[in-house]
Chains A and B, each alone.
Chain A
């Protein structure tokens, strides 16, 4: 059994009255690619943010192998959030260097690592360009380089191929597999089962804030007695997916009331629509 790098024990996360995650237990082992699969609003991003130490669990714990909470050992992690989080007025290298400096890594070391991975991603010539004009694929690759530059033990990727063209998505997936082959650990959030099947050694299906299944693709098929992962997913998530409520929870009662005050009633029939016009 490989060494456990990250241990999530009994984690529940709530925002105001909304429970985003409920009693999550998960062990992440060294050298595996773990796919977090679920629909929009299932709780994947919240779980990733807990693993990255951005959120604190309402109850339970997220600990590294040495027993330390992730928030105190962030240099162990490389994170690529869904939005990539690049500064458009900085060059790709400046973006990477900024994060590396925050990790306390000398520029020469982060440059050497960046150069190595940039070759794989065909990004070497773009490192001196400002990211403002970058395509979604180039931004994603830059964010990936930024996450790798300080040599993390665990890579957290939130929807890394969302919005990418086929070629860019393939390149990203290939790099993720290469990192695993070199001993790295990757946690890969996606809502595409086919992609998870291609890339991940282990798939964790999250639905309505709960883990519904956890295992290799073959294990999921045998456990659910289905012939495809899609069928397995459907059989595990038969209850209706909740709407994403985490963001709405932030709006104050007065703001909500004021917004509704100036929102016309949705027409109940075609006749009402015509009358309005």
Chain B
């Protein structure tokens, strides 16, 4: 590339980034949302769930107990669970789960739940009638089950002691000796890499594609629709320089978005989890270098592909209606890649477009550098990236890009 050519590509890319960043909506979409999405999801959402749970805990519930005799300890457990109860005689039914005449009482919320409890020699039978679509009723069922479980546990212990046996050895005859985590021979760095490999490739793939949609459309079909492309095509720059400049701009914008999203994700995980849950993955310099290479090849391919599709479109509307559903081409392979077992994986997986880079990222994040796999994904990705770039250059060389259908 000559110096003049380099300067023109730089001027195009710079202008695109400057113009794009002057729209505050773009800054929110490309920078603020990726940065805040995961922290909001992982930090604020649990806080919201906690406050909802506290609200449920504070509820005073009203239940009906139908029984032929309620043990005192069970009655005490139920009262401790903030439940007011009234006792009724057990109706005559074929099974305790059969709602019978009580169906409407639960459905119209005149009671939150009905516990049916029947003594049957040494075994007790029970059923709980509740309305699963009502939060109060579901909470009542949950509290009743908790009270019953505590009562059952003490009943079991009593019976074991009455039989002259030791409760602990009878109930817990098999025990792990020592710390469970000590049994895993993987280092904490490897474990972190394993955890990160499950979602970083997915986030990277989806966000790279989706965050490139808007700038790709704006810089191609948008220019075409606004009539700015014609003036640009009259300038002494080749169409290839134009494509390179725009590619560089979209890739930069997308790169910033992806980096911020990963940063937000790691921050959220770090905030939520203990340091032993996730740490810094143990990666060799070679792995890091190959991760960077794989991301670059993926970005070349995806951005060139999107620029080509957008440039092929005659209007912003048309480009949007093509690029948005085309996300499926990334989403399905990305989801599919998550469930592929990497142990003993066949080489051909590393030649499938999109899948190859995502699998490569998973392997590399676990610090596994397998020469055969690396060669396959590097070569196949180079072929796909070259094809995408060639396809994009063909679109940029079309004569009709100067006119719009809008």
**Complex CA distance for A251 and B230, rounded to whole angstroms:** 19
CA distance A79 to B228 in the complex (A): 12
A73–B234 Cα distance when bound, in Å, is: 10
Q: Please measure, in the bound complex, the distance between the C-alpha atom of A246 and the C-alpha atom of B22, giving whole angstroms.
A: 35
What string of 1s and 0s marks CB contacts (under 8 Å) between B225-261 and chain A? 0111111111111000000000000000000000000
CB neighbours (8 Å) of A205 from chain B are none
Instruction: Specify which of A77, A88, A94 is in contact with B234 (CB 8 Å cutoff).
Output: A77
- Tell whether A247 is near chain B: CB-to-CB under 8 Å: yes
| B229 cross-chain contacts in A, Cβ below 8 A | 85
Q: In this assembly, does A177 line the interface, its C-beta being within 8 Å of a C-beta of chain B?
A: no
**B227 in contact with A90 (CB, 8 Å):** no
Cα(A170)–Cα(B378), bound, Å: 62
Partner of A251, one of B15, B237, B405: B405
For A74, the chain B residues whose CB sits under 8 A away are 234-236
A81 contacts partner chain B, Cβ-Cβ < 8 Å: yes
Shortest C-beta distance, A68 to chain B (Å), equals 12
Chain A: minimal CB distance from B30 (Å)? 15
Question: Which A residues are in CB contact (< 8 Å) with B12?
Answer: 102
Known A-B contacts A98-B11, A101-B7, A102-B11; the reply to A89 vs B22 at CB < 8 A is yes
Asked whether A63 is an interface residue with its Cβ less than 8 Å from the other chain, the reply is no
Q: A55-B399, A83-B226, A104-B4 are in contact. Are A143 and B15 (CB under 8 A)?
A: no
In the bound complex, residues from chain B placing their C-beta under 8 Å from that of A102 are 8, 11-12, 235-237
How many angstroms between the C-alpha atoms of A99 and B223 in the bound complex?
15
Q: Inside 8 A of B8's CB, which chain A residues have their CB?
A: 101-102, 104
- Whether the pair A89, B7 counts as a contact (CB closer than 8 A) is no
When the two chains form their complex, are residues A54 and B15 in contact, meaning their CB atoms are under 8 A apart?
no
In the assembled complex, the Cα of A119 lies from the Cα of B18 at a distance in Å of 28
Q: Is B84 an interface residue (CB 8 A)?
A: no
Smallest beta-carbon distance B11→chain A, Å: 5
Q: From A53, A77, A89, give the contact of B23 (CB < 8 A).
A: A89
The docked-state distance in angstroms from the alpha carbon of A101 to that of B234 is: 14
Cross-chain contact B228 with A85 (CB below 8 angstroms): yes
In the assembled complex, A36 has its CB within 8 A of some CB on chain B:
no
From A55, A84, A85, A101, contact of B11 by CB (8 A): A101
Chain B residue numbers with a CB within 8 Å of A90 are 15, 18-19, 22
How far, in angstroms, from A85 to B235 measured CA to CA in the complex?
12
Interface size class of A (residues with CB under 8 A): 35 or more
Alpha-carbon separation in the docked complex, A79 to B229 (Å)? 12
Whether A81 lies near B236 (C-beta < 8 A) is: no
Nearest-neighbour CB distance to chain A for B314, whole angstroms, equals: 6
Q: How far is the CA of A143 from the CA of B229 in the complex (A)?
A: 13
Interface of B is mostly: helix
Decide if A81 touches B234 in the complex (CB within 8 Å): yes
| Residues in A neighbouring B235, C-beta threshold 8 A | 74, 99, 102-103
**A141 interfacial by beta-carbon distance below 8 Å:** no
Residues of A within 8 A of B7 (CB): 101, 104
Interface residues of B in 27-82 (CB under 8 A from A): none
Closest residue on chain B to residue A78 by CB atoms: B234
Interface membership of chain A positions 250-265, coded 1 if the CB is closer than 8 angstroms to chain B and 0 otherwise: 1100000000000000
**Is B152 in contact with chain A by the CB < 8 A criterion?**
no
Q: Which residue of A lies closest to B229 (CB)?
A: A85
User: How far apart are A86's CB and chain B's nearest CB, in angstroms?
Assistant: 7
Question: Is residue B400 within 8 Å, beta carbon to beta carbon, of the partner chain?
Answer: yes
- Complex Cα gap A52–B232 (Å): 11
Query: Given the complex of chains A and B, what is the CA–CA distance between A102 and B4 in angstroms?
Result: 9
Given A52-B234, A90-B18, A98-B15, A250-B314 contact (CB < 8 Å): yes
Q: What is the CB-to-nearest-CB distance from B26 to chain A, in angstroms, rounded to a whole number?
A: 10
Report Cα–Cα, A56/B400, bound state, in Å.
11
Q: What is the distance, in angstroms, from A264's C-beta to the closest C-beta of chain B?
A: 21
Interface residues of A (CB under 8 A from B): 15, 49, 52-56, 73-75, 77, 79-90, 94, 98-99, 101-104, 143, 146, 156, 246-247, 250-251
A-B contact pairs, 13 of them (CB 8 A): A73-B236, A79-B231, A81-B227, A81-B231, A86-B228, A90-B18, A94-B15, A98-B11, A101-B8, A102-B236, A250-B314, A250-B400, A250-B403
Known contacts A156-B234, A251-B405, then 10 further A-B pairs from the complex at CB < 8 Å, ordered by chain A residue: A55-B402, A74-B235, A81-B231, A83-B231, A85-B232, A86-B231, A90-B15, A99-B231, A101-B8, A102-B12
